[in-house]
Structure 1
Amino acid sequence: MMELDLDDFTTAVAARGAQWQAAGVQWQLHYGPTCSKSSAWVECTTARHLAQLIVWTSGEADLEVGDISTGAITITRYEMSNAAELTACFDTLTQWLTDPTPPA
């Protein structure tokens, strides 16, 4: 696993923010307390989905996506070893939020 800099996560959220807003996604960035395994997360809302991507400085991440109409929740756990894997997390989140046929 990689040691994740939460500033990199913040930069990635900001880079996606305009795309999300243009697609009608409301989002908000949060930070947990500073500790041995600090975290940050982004919460996103669309007419169809509620989603949260949380990352820890340890390189772990959880993507939780709820389907508003069915109540179904999909949880994907990541153990990142490089920055490209963080990008992949954001790609998956963005697909859930903006694609009419999100990942299975």
Structure 2
Amino acid sequence: MGDLNGLTRKLDYISSLGVNTIWLLPFYPSLRRDDGYDISDYRAVSAEYGSIEDFQAFIDEAHVRQIRVIVEHYVTRPDLKEFVAGCVSAWNIGSDAISMNSRVL
């Protein structure tokens, strides 16, 4: 299985087991410093799992089989790139660029 396409291919088998709900752990792009919970983009799928189109196809196929999908969505941390970009634009006075390695407090 391993990725969204593999999971989609196994939906008939999963359904035959009587499963009616699948809970997915985070599959968003991550810096991998916190077991995948340090999400860098909440609107994308990590390349190792597929694409946003693969995710939509999985959802559609699961729903055809009356299988609900729960996506674990960890929201206590901001999307790091957007957070830093927002801080940079708010604090940037006279500088055209600030390194993404800059520390934001």
More strand by share: 1
Shorter-chain TM-score: which interval? under 0.3
Higher RCO (CA < 8 A, seq sep 6+): 2
Instruction: Give the TM-score, by structure 2 length.
Output: 0.23
| Greater radius of gyration (CA) | 2
Instruction: Give the TM-score, by structure 1 length.
Output: 0.23
